[in-house]
Amino acid sequence: MTASFFIMMPGIDTVFILNKTIGEGRKAGLYSTLGINSGVLVHTTFAALGLSVIVAKSALAFSIIKYLGAGYLIYLGVVSLLQGKGLDLSTPDNEEKSPLKNFYTGLVTNILNPKVALFFLSFFPQFIARENLSSPAPFILLGVSCCLIGIVWFSIVTLLAATFSERLSANPKFAGRMGKVSGVVYILMGLKIAMSKK
């Protein structure tokens, strides 16, 4: 229940999924959802192995991951602005887009968000008995549970956003500006991560 609450709270992942779905279609949103939640499994593994402790205790490690993540999002934003493509749903779900690319962008965005690593490091131990903290099994069980909940929730968000964007795409002005709006959103997300502190 607690995990569901945290997953459903609007954050970088939610904005990313909405941006992908509205800008590129339902399929892009669903593959990005799978990528983001695969990132959750990566963070779970890091927490289980104790690697997240390094991020929590090292300002340098935290900063490196933070700026890599911010730089990646800003890069996506700049590319989107330079391409200047609007929303095009003339083919179902923008089939010309690579599903693997959408999966990859979701995965990298999640992995390079140090706040996620710190969240799992502080969140999971609250639900694990003290004598089991040294075992990776409870971390993995909780991580898989969060991943499954995340897939369900973000899939719902994607389907709702896709329905919304398909209706608005009939407006040429909306379709023409959507690419630039998506680019700005990515850049703002990158700046938000860059300015974040522990």
Specify the pLDDT at position 32.
Answer: 95
Q: How far apart are CA 74 and CA 80, in angstroms?
A: 10
Q: Does the reported pTM lie above 0.95?
A: no
Specify the pLDDT at position 89.
Answer: 43
**Torsion angle of C-alpha atoms 162, 168, 173, 178, degrees rounded to 10:** -20
Q: How far apart are CA 39 and CA 24, in angstroms?
A: 21
Specify the pLDDT at position 179.
Answer: 64
Tell me: the pLDDT tens digits for 65-102? 889 888 988 988 888 788 755 444 444 444 445 789 99
Tell me the CA end-to-end span of the chain in Å, nearest whole number: 25
Specify the pLDDT at position 95.
Answer: 46
Q: How far apart are CA 32 and CA 129, in angstroms?
A: 34
CB atoms within 10 A of CB 173: 9
Specify the pLDDT at position 88.
Answer: 47
Ranges of residues in the chain whose predicted pLDDT is under 70: 1-3, 6, 56, 84-97, 133, 168-179, 198
Q: How far apart are CA 8 and CA 150, in angstroms?
A: 8
Specify the pLDDT at position 181.
Answer: 76
**Within the chain, where are the H helices?**
2-8, 12-24, 26-49, 52-57, 59-83, 99-111, 114-123, 136-168, 172-194
Specify the pLDDT at position 87.
Answer: 46
Q: Please say whether the beta carbons of 158 and 33 come within 8 A.
A: yes
